[in-house]
Structure 1
Amino acid sequence: MNLTSPIIQIISHLEKIQPFNAQNPLDDTRKYLETMTLQLSGKKESVAMIEELNIQMESHSIPVRIYRPKGKGQKSSAIIYIHGGWFIAGGFETHDEVVRKLANKTGSAVVSIDYRLAPEHPFPAGLNDCIDTIKWVSDNAESLSIDRNQIGVIGDSAGGALAAGVSMQIGELLKFQILIYPAADNQLNTKSWEMYETGPVLNKKGGIQAWKWYHPEGESNPDPLAVPILIKDFKNTPPTLVLIAEHDALRDEGEVLAQHMKEAGIPVHVSFYKDMVHGFMHMGEILKEVQHAVDEMSAFSKQYFENNEK
């Protein structure tokens, strides 16, 4: 494993993070992600407006945060952002800096979902929250100043798995999906998992536990809506961009998922980020590749939004 100087600097920093007053391993994981993103994400861009809303369901509500981009007053396209965190961690604040960049660069309203997390709420709770949010955005597009015919989805890591599940169910509402180093397989038995079993960033022990918490039936009866590598029918899946990091335990499963989509006839572009580690989108304080990735995702989203306008 040949790591660049910036990556070595990041790994050294990560090794020193001590989550404050962690109560148990789950709390430790959640606080670790919060601390990592706070310290490494870099300066937050200002946006025109941020609105926090609660989508009322029968038995619970789904908190969402809508980021309005600078210089966009009229009805806009919308990107639904599904955050990562091994299905057990993450939220508005862990992905705030990335979402701000995406809103300004794409010119789209970005809707960030604070979906229910495992183990308190195992599959399919989080997935249902994401599906319900996209339906709600589509149904209420007029009052949200959003063009219901111009909606896309982006998910990173566990959020990539959720996005793929969303596309299976309601992909007809989406113009594209972007999967950033997606968690596609619950087996953790690929060559890249063997290479990066103890890191950087992810480790196999934590991954096994996270999948057990998220999808308890996954070992004996895995559901393709939870485990995207098992999807056979991609009929609803829109054009897809997959971002892969070189030094990432999830590298191989992301590439296999992309290949499955290609074989099913889905327009797929795979972008390989050399030298990068899992979670590099949170490391904008040090890595210039974060902006490169934002630029690439913006170009991809505009391509499909513009195609829709023609």
Structure 2
Amino acid sequence: MPAGAPPLRRAAGGAIMRRMTDYGRILDPEVLAFVRRTEQFYPADAATRPIAEQRAFYDAMCRAFHAGRPPGVTTRDVRIGDMGARIYLPPGGQEAPAAVLFLHGGGFFLGGLESHDDVCAEICSGAGLPVVAADYRLCPEHPHPAAYEDALSAARWTLARFNLPLILAGDSAGGALAASAAHALRAEAPLAGMALIYPGLGGETDSGSWVRHAHAPLLTRDEALACNALRHGGAPPAAPGPDAAPLRDVDFSGLPPTVVFHAECDPLSDDGPAYAARILAAGGRALAVEEKGLVHGYLRARRMSGRAADAFARILAAIGALAEGRWPPLP
């Protein structure tokens, strides 16, 4: 296994009860059931398996949680240069005010067009907008900046394809890529907004949620740090730029209206409010939405958790509002 590859399976579900943070108290039974179901896809020695096998575990988990596509959504697989992509079109062919580029999560080394297919289809149907999903290059075969470069290419292609203002969206690693792309594109492209879902944006890793939720279910601090190391092919740079860590930029002006959704029980949680605060301080519009009692990866829990379903409804509402230029995007 390549050096720095993160362990994907952690202690059995009951072990979270013995952590410093009492997740048995914070998480309701539905979320705990989601955690246990997710962990069942990873054998005890997953951390020692080759990357190809870790991807197979992840893909099997994604297939099991796939909720299908809403009726009327049509799709087409296309190429953006050498990169695969999938277009989702909403029912009815109605005129849309914006298009969405969705960049999937997976720690920069997992996932693809199938892993988030149902999420993209539901965003398309729920917000009534065309969505493009990009199958960006993964590490360790393609270390940074490959995924970032692909995100930029996909954003420019989507703008040209639909000739509409663009909403950049993504979860986890994909949220980080979406934000990095916005920093690069803000002066050249009509960006309608950003919808970032539990992203890691390059915040301080030795304080706040990174310590408070260092052993959170489904993503620990060590796992997040290992993903970042794998992304960079070893030790991350001491002073990363906004192409890798948007919070490390020195200029937050000119960014589009941004909504960051962050899970309470997630080491990355504090990155969202910190990022929103930087945009606000620069005179922009930003909102950080903390989803109480939820964990990293809660998008997949939306069919088995009331809290996750409500959180996903807020994501759809925010994307729809950003497309129409409404602020605030949530009641």
Scaled to the shorter chain, the TM-score interval is 0.7 to 0.9
* Preserved contact between residue 170 and residue 236 of structure 1 (Cα < 8 Å): no
User: TM-score with structure 2 length normalisation?
Assistant: 0.82
Q: CA deviation at 1:241?
A: 0.5
How many residue pairs end up in the alignment?
298
Partner of 2:93: 72
Q: CA deviation at 1:43?
A: 4.3
- Residue identity opposite 2:79 in structure 1: N
Partner of 2:316: 298
- Residue identity opposite 1:133 in structure 2: A
Partners of 1:210 and 1:295 lie apart in 2 by 29
Partner of 1:205: 222
Partner of 1:169: 184
SS at match of 1:244: strand
SS at match of 1:175: strand
Task: Determine which of 101, 105, 128 is the counterpart of 1:84.
Answer: 105
Q: From the superposition, tell whether residues 42 and 236 of structure 1 become closer, same or farther in structure 2 (CA, over 3 Å).
A: same
- Residue identity opposite 1:12 in structure 2: R
Gaps of at least 5 residues in structure 1 are: none
SS at match of 1:149: coil
Q: CA deviation at 1:206?
A: 2.4
1:115-264 matches, cutoff 5 A:
115-139=136-160, 141=161, 146=162, 148-171=163-186, 172-185=189-202, 188-215=205-232, 216=234, 218-264=236-282
Q: CA deviation at 1:21?
A: 11
SS at match of 1:251: coil
Partner of 2:13: none
- Residue identity opposite 2:52 in structure 1: D
Partners of 2:58 and 2:130 lie apart in 1 by 25
* Preserved contact between residue 136 and residue 147 of structure 2 (Cα < 8 Å): yes
Q: CA deviation at 1:305?
A: 2.8
Q: Deviations over 1:213-253 (max 9, x none)?
A: 21346343422210122122123310000101111111112
Q: Deviations over 1:3-52 (max 9, x none)?
A: 21111212222332236997835334423332333223434423431100
Q: CA deviation at 1:177?
A: 0.5
* Preserved contact between residue 46 and residue 100 of structure 1 (Cα < 8 Å): no
SS at match of 1:292: helix
Partners of 2:178 and 2:196 lie apart in 1 by 7
SS at match of 1:113: strand
SS at match of 1:197: coil
Q: Does 1:6 align with 2:24?
A: no
Q: Deviations over 1:89-129 (max 9, x none)?
A: 11111111111110001111100000001111111111111
Q: CA deviation at 1:133?
A: 1.2
Partners of 1:78 and 1:4 lie apart in 2 by 35
Give the fraction of aligned pairs with identical amino acids, expressed as a percent: 29
Partners of 1:103 and 1:20 lie apart in 2 by 37
SS at match of 2:92: coil
Gaps of at least 5 residues in structure 2 are: 1-21, 327-331
Partner of 2:42: 18
Q: CA deviation at 1:75?
A: 6.1
Task: Determine which of 264, 278, 286 is the counterpart of 2:304.
Answer: 286
Q: CA deviation at 1:130?
A: 0.9
Partners of 1:13 and 1:133 lie apart in 2 by 33
1:263-278 matches, cutoff 5 A:
263-278=281-296
* Preserved contact between residue 80 and residue 154 of structure 1 (Cα < 8 Å): yes
Partners of 1:176 and 1:75 lie apart in 2 by 15
- Residue identity opposite 1:62 in structure 2: M
Task: Determine which of 52, 62, 67 is the counterpart of 1:37.
Answer: 62
Q: CA RMSD in A?
A: 2.4
User: TM-score with structure 1 length normalisation?
Assistant: 0.87
Partners of 1:117 and 1:86 lie apart in 2 by 9
Q: From the superposition, tell whether residues 29 and 9 of structure 1 become closer, same or farther in structure 2 (CA, over 3 Å).
A: same
Q: From the superposition, tell whether residues 33 and 79 of structure 1 become closer, same or farther in structure 2 (CA, over 3 Å).
A: same
SS at match of 1:154: strand
- Residue identity opposite 2:211 in structure 1: E
Partner of 2:128: 107
SS at match of 1:224: coil
Partners of 1:274 and 1:20 lie apart in 2 by 29
